[in-house]
Amino acid sequence: MGKHHYVKNLTLTTINVVFLLLLSSSFWTCTASQSKIYGHARRGMAGMWPGNKAIREAYMGKRSRVGTFNVLDYGAKGDGRTDDSKAFLAAWNVACKIAGSTVLVPSGSVFLVGPVSFVGPYCAPNIIFQLDGKITAPTSASVWEGGLLQWIQFKKLEGITIIGKGIIDGQGLVWWNNVPSYNSIENTASSDLNENMPSTRPTALRFYGSNGVTVTGITIQNSPQVHLKFDTCTNVQVSGFTTSSPGDSPNTDGIHLQNTQDVVIYSSTLACGDDCVSIQTGCSNVLIHDVNCGPGHGISIGSLGKDGSEATVSNITVQNVYFHNTLTGVRIKTWQGGSGSVKQVLFENIQVSQVQTPIMIDQYYCDGTKCQNQTQAVEISDIHYANIKGTYTYQPIYFACSESSPCSDVSMANVQLTGQGYKKIDPFCWAASLDLQTRTIPDIDCSRKTKY
């Protein structure tokens, strides 16, 4: 190649580079104004962008808001008095069309939101609901006419995440005061709280028919009934989650699982008036670990088999859980006359403090109504208890299994429970095939094989 030819090519190359730089500067400036629509650039590419620092920073600032839809921008007042339901739905309807988008409920505001459903199945996947502020429920009976089953619902979604440090407040007292068994005298002087609410109390937050559900960081308090429910969902993860309701608030389960598979619940604190976690029929592959439960009724599988129904639950693991001031610790409860099975269950590394009955299997469960004796029962097998220690206030172990369908393949190892208080009774075991791999404290006798 000749010298002049080389210089000519170099000159043309230089001109092309300068032209491309100018063109690209114009491109990025234009893109900055259009980033709200497209938003495909990555933050990590900032160092490669042409143009000056101010342009890049302006674009970056714009990009940080792309795909984030603040409910305040859609008409929400956030004053705790104005109904912001329509604004929440408006923000959702826009976010629904964009994969990976975020609905932002900002901190520093209180949003009054009525019954609302964020519904697929035609939404884009992986939407984030960023809850940093506070959402409160209406306390007027007229809002709840017809007896609604849920307050806030996410339905038929693929990859839905609720994350943040915000609070969902169900204003449960207005509902609990209508339940005869609830005798709280707090705030009963308020005329608003004496309003006659419907007899059907809603779940605070429900996910239905969704896959890839994540709930992390948020708090749900004072739910009218169940705090957090997953129904017909798969691939569920709950972490850093808090429920906060009085121990005598009626039927306020912390987390309720139904027809849901592949679940992990961890690093959460659950205080409520019923089961901290309730595992119902159709659930399998559930792992619960590093959870603080109390007050409440413990972690329960069931109740199952009511009204002769069939129930199946399998592959449940509960480990590294601390129970304090609860009705039970780990419990399996089934109605007489049901069918199906509970199997492959492990309760391991459990610490209990001031728990009435830490370990329970009850195949004669009855909720206080008149229950007739029936021979058919949900079969219970392959149940294992290991390293369960602490204090109880009434009865350490209660195994009441069906004579026609005894509990089989039940094992216990390193169970050490110390009674406290004046009304302590001995362990009870009926129709259970129990394998004692170590001696329990106190002793339990099911007249089965022992190993110690």
Which residues have a catalytic role annotated?
A: 274, 297
Tokens of 262: 């592949």
Choose among 189, 179, 151, 344: nearest CA to 246. 179
Choose among 171, 258, 259, 254: nearest CA to 215. 254
Choose among 337, 296, 302, 334: nearest CA to 316. 302
Residues in CB range of 97: below 8 A, 6 or more apart: 123, 124
Backbone angles phi and psi of 175, in degrees to 5:
-90, -45
State how far the Cα of 166 lies from the Cα of 105, in Å rounded to an integer. 8
Chain centroid to CA 185: how far?
30
Residue 293 gets which letter from DSSP? E
State how far the Cα of 371 lies from the Cα of 366, in Å rounded to an integer. 6
Tokens of 140: 């007027």
Partners of 130 in beta bridges? 104, 163
Residues in CB range of 240: below 8 A, 6 or more apart: 216, 217, 267, 268
Instruction: Using CB atoms within 10 Å of the CB of residue 149, give its burial: 0 to 12 exposed, 13 to 18 middle, 19+ buried.
Output: middle
Residues in CB range of 174: below 8 A, 6 or more apart: 139, 192, 193, 195, 197
Mutual orientation of helices 3-34 and 53-63 as an angle, nearest 10°? Answer: 40
Which residue is it, tokens 């090519």?
A: 9
CA dist 354 → 289, 321, 394, 433 (Å)? 20, 14, 9, 28
Which residue is it, tokens 């170590």?
A: 438
With vertex at residue 353, the alpha carbon angle to CA 350 and CA 358, rounded to the nearest 5 degrees, is: 60
CB-CB contact of 101 with 127 (8 Å): yes
CB-CB contact of 306 with 294 (8 Å): no
CA dist 311 → 78, 302, 303, 340, 432 (Å)? 44, 9, 10, 5, 20
CB-CB contact of 132 with 104 (8 Å): yes
